[in-house]
């Protein structure tokens, strides 16, 4: 994908806004005891934050695993983001997959609360780095 600097910035802004919107949805669903939907929205909030960050480097992975790989290569390996972020990302993806595709999955309020908390932390961390990169572009 070949995008101009301005296009990368604009797309990054669109994606981070979506991340925060989905995070708000996750919180609202958690407060309304819709635990599975809270976990789903928490994961997709993080996915959009990751995509907002990756596009600034010209990376636009098409799969969930591709996002993990590119985050690892572009930001964790060089020390810009901690390894724990990838571990948390994988945990959120696993929870989301279980609740979306598992027929007999049981979701606890603790898991949902933890998912929303992790999403908040991860989005904050990725958005801070994203803002630094915006200044450098």
CA distance 38 to 47: 14
- Across residues 57-86, what is the average pLDDT? 96
pLDDT per residue as tens digits for the range 39-58: 999 999 999 999 999 999 99
* Fold of the domain built from segment(s) 5-136: 1.20.120
pLDDT at 1: 54
pLDDT per residue as tens digits for the range 99-128: 999 888 789 999 999 999 999 999 999 999
| Mean per-residue pLDDT of the chain | 95
26: pLDDT confidence band, cut at 50, 70 and 90?
very high
């Amino acid at each position: 994908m070949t995008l101009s600097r301005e296009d990368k910035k604009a797309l990054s802004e669109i994606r981070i806004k979506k991340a925060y919107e989905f995070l708000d949805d996750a919180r609202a669903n958690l407060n309304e005891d819709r635990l599975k939907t809270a976990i789903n929205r928490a994961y997709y909030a993080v996915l959009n934050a990751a995509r907002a960050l990756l596009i600034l480097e010209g990376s636009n992975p098409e799969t969930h695993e591709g996002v993990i790989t590119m985050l690892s290569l572009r930001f964790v390996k060089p020390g810009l983001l901690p390894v724990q972020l990838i571990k948390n990302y994988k945990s959120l993806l696993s929870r989301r997959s279980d609740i979306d595709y598992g027929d007999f999955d049981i979701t606890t309020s603790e898991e949902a609360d933890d998912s929303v908390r992790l999403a908040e932390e991860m989005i904050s961390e990725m958005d801070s780095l994203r803002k630094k990169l915006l200044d450098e572009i």
